[in-house]
Amino acid sequence: MIENYVEDSKMMGRIFDGKESKKGAKNIRFNAEYMIEKLLMLCAGISILAIVLIALFILVRGVPLIAKTGLNDFLFNLKWDPTRGSFGIGTMFIGSLVVTLASMLWSVPLGLLTAVFMAEIAPPSVGNFMARMVELLAGIPSVVYGFFGLVVIVPLIREYLGGNGMSVLAGALILGIMILPTLINISRDAIIAVPREYKEGSLALGATHYQTIRRVIMPAARSGIITAIVLGMGRAIGETMAVVMVTGNSTIIPDGPLTPVRTMTSNIVLEMGYAAGDHQAALFATGTVLFIFIVVLNLIVNISAKAGSQNAAN
């Protein structure tokens, strides 16, 4: 090591300056190394600082209002009338949950079964091709999904099911499509990562392929599948553009799939243009609630991933 180092330094010395002493060359090398490390550290620091600043900003602007109205009142009061000083996001809080859960109701089963098909039943070439297609689906901007929902799904609902079409159902359909890529590709990866020995061991005992999938492969992939579902849920709850475009955005509690609904994200985007003072603070407070939601979901992912890796390690 040391010999190499000296050899290198000699070379460096010659390159930089024929008369440069060995010691000087060593310093140049040392400095370059030092600089690169510091540069990387700076980059990492800026990224983290940006995140911390945004988080702080949201909290600082939002929390005082929550403190003023009281957390309970803010979250569950159904009266949102910001120009008259009534800041209850109850309808939006429920709206976000309803639209998200409704979207997962159909997309989780569909996504999981698709992932099983791609990982276990389709020939590998077909599975890989489908995975590419699904990734493509993930790359479509959300405004395009929203536009599709507005011109295709909303009129269909209005025509065949009634109401004006802008509804919980339209939001759930669009959001479901949007989180399918997350659900499918992460659960497919989890299923593929199940050790081959499990599958062969089960088949060698005379289990059918279906029994093997249901009783051995799926349980073994459980933590990855939970991760997929939770990440999908995070995406659904945070999605804004497509939802604003198709859900009608009334601040009422939806009493059926055909009634319009407003989510927390929609609330922010719809009113941020003209909000000021406490009204603006209330929007930041809405953001705080969303932020906490996402943090909790990510914590669940981390815990489930940790549990999964412990299973695998043993």
Residues in contact with another protein by the rule CB under 8 A: 123-124, 195, 197-208, 211, 215-216, 219-220, 311, 314
User: Cβ of residue 200: shortest distance to another protein, in angstroms?
Assistant: 6
Name the minimum Å distance from CB 191 to another protein. 14
Residue pair 271/250 in contact by the 8 Å Cβ criterion:
no
CB nearer to another protein: pick between 89 and 216:
216
CB nearer another protein, residue 22 or residue 215:
215
* Min dist. Cβ of residue 226 to another protein (A): 14
Radius of gyration, CA atoms only, the chain: 27
Task: Give 124 or 162: the residue with its C-beta nearer to another protein.
Answer: 124
Query: Taking the complex as a whole, how short is the minimal distance between the CB of residue 284 and another protein, in angstroms?
Result: 45
* Cβ closest to another protein, residue 223 vs residue 288: 223
76 contact partners, CB below 8 Å, separation of at least 6? 88, 90, 93
Query: Strand pairing partners for 117?
Result: none
Query: What sign does the CA torsion over 281, 287, 293, 294 have?
Result: negative
For the bound state, the minimum distance from the C-beta of residue 222 to another protein, rounded and expressed in Å, comes to: 9
Contact 229, 136 (CB under 8 A): no
Burial 193-228, CB ≥16 within 10 A → b, else e: ebeeeebeebeeeebeeeebbeebbbebbebbbbbb
Q: Whole-number minimum distance, CB 216 to another protein, in Å?
A: 6
Distance of CA 314 to the CA centre of its chain: 30
C-beta closer to another protein: residue 192 or 241 = 192
Distance of CA 118 to the CA centre of its chain: 22
- Catalogue the E-assigned strands of the chain: 80-81, 86-87
Identity of the residue, 14 or 215, whose beta carbon is nearer to another protein in the bound complex: 215
Distance CA 127, CA 125 (A): 5
Write down the least CB distance from residue 198 to another protein, Å.
6
Query: For residues 297 and 230, what is the distance between their CA atoms, to the nearest angstrom?
Result: 6
Nearer to another protein, 199 or 235 (CB): 199
Closest CA to 217 of 106, 115, 313: 115
Cβ–Cβ contacts within 10 Å for residue 254, how many?
23
Closest residue by Cα to residue 313 from 195, 202, 186: 195
C-beta of 106 vs 198, nearer to another protein: 198
| Least spacing, CB of residue 21 vs another protein, in Å | 56
- Nearest-CA neighbor of 235 among 88, 51, 111? 111
